[in-house]
Amino acid sequence: MATIRDVASEAGVSVATVSRVLNGKGYVNENTRKAVEAAIRKLAYKPNEVARSLYHHQSKLIGLVIPDITNPFFPEIARGVEDFFQEEGYHVMIGNSDESREKEVNYIEAFSQHNVMGIISTSSDDISQWAGLDIPVVLLDRIQDDFPSVCADQEAGGKLAAQILLERGSRNITLMRGPHHLRTAQERFLAALTELGRSSARFQVLNTAFSYHHALETAKQLFDCYPDTDGIIAANDMVAAAVLREALARGKKIPDGLQIIGFDDIPISQLVYPALSTIHQPAYEMGMEAAKLLLECMHQQTNLKKKIKLSIAFKDRETTRKEGG
């Protein structure tokens, strides 16, 4: 790899001059600039980011920590973040935390050691680890007083899901509740629960994890315990898909005998049959917004504690009855 010194001697100038043309700052004569640029091209020189980073204590790197890239909700987010920062000349390092505090801390350290310019985290609820850091942090999918954040309106989503099922005629609803420690899952659950509580419909609650292995189990359990259920509010689309599968396997009529509503609107929800009605979270946009917000924080030194709440929307597909029908 050619270094700045190689370029300097090739062009017959000092490294300082090369640096100036590289960064477009400081005076440099038009002709020497030409010479330097020629040398750069000739040697196919690329500045060493590591050296730059060492000097500036900054790099063109962004850290992103998510629970698990294998969960289809997060790649969308990651793409949003990446697509935004790509435009700005940054690169994104992704870390999977598996909801483990240890892994998350490990990534944060790695990020910090590599001088990332900012971090987006969509993982743990434990905020203590962010406190010491002097790097801007944006929280995605969770909120904390001291940090800027982006999230989707879980409460509106949970409420809407319940309303839809009720409006469209379910009278015996099973509400599935995601992992208790995930604030988002808890929020949408609570909002749906409240809505259900306000109605005269019968309902019951069933706990579930988010992994598809687990979801398949829970689905079986659901129909064993509550064979008469005629409406299911799934904790997310993975779970909804599993439930749908099990329902079809047991010969349920959907949506006439049983309505199912998911949450997230991950790509597969359009691929199953019948296509999943679901509460859409704008995952890609959330990633984009978080990235945009982070960039703002990076530019202004001040920790602007802006909170962005994106709205959700109901996707009326095939596992719910038609409105007024």
- Residue from 92, 201, 233, 290 that binds its own copies (CB under 8 A)? 92
| Per CB under 8 A, 186 contacts its own copies | no
Q: Which of 271, 278, 282, 306 has the alpha carbon at shortest distance from 292?
A: 306
| Helix or strand run (H / E) with residue 177 | strand 172-177
Other CB atoms within 10 Å distance of the CB of residue 193: 18
Evaluate whether 237 touches 272 at the Cβ level (below 8 Å): no
CA 4 distance to own-chain centroid:
39
Q: Which is nearer to DNA, 30 or 87 (CB)?
A: 30
Total residues interacting with its own copies, rule: CB under 8 A:
52
Q: Let me know: does 240 contact 263? Beta carbons within 8 Å.
A: yes
At CA 97, angle to CA 93 and CA 98, rounded to 5?
Answer: 140
Q: Which does 225 bind (CB under 5 to 8 A by kind): DNA, its own copies, none?
A: none
- Please state at what angle helix 212-225 crosses helix 237-249, rounded to 10 degrees: 50
**Of these, 19, 32, 53, 129, which contacts its own copies (CB under 8 A)?**
53
Contact set for DNA, span 36-95 (CB under 7 A): 45-48, 51-52, 54-57
Q: Is 117 in the site for DNA (CB under 7 A)?
A: no
Q: With binding defined as CB under 7 A, does residue 17 bind DNA?
A: yes
Residue pair 260/276 in contact by the 8 Å Cβ criterion: yes
Interacting stretch for DNA, rule CB under 7 A, among 22-30, 120-128, 152-160, 225-233? 22-30
Examine residue 91 and tell whether it contacts its own copies (CB under 8 A).
yes
Residue 93 interacting entry, from DNA, its own copies, none, C-beta within 5 to 8 Å by type = its own copies
Question: Which listed residue (34, 38, 109, 256) binds its own copies by CB under 8 A?
Answer: 109
Closer residue to its own copies (CB): 80 or 157:
80
- What whole-number distance in Å separates Cα of residue 11 and Cα of residue 98? 51
Under rule CB under 8 A, residue 96 binds its own copies: yes
Choosing from 212, 296, 309, 310, the residue that interacts with its own copies (CB under 8 A) is 212
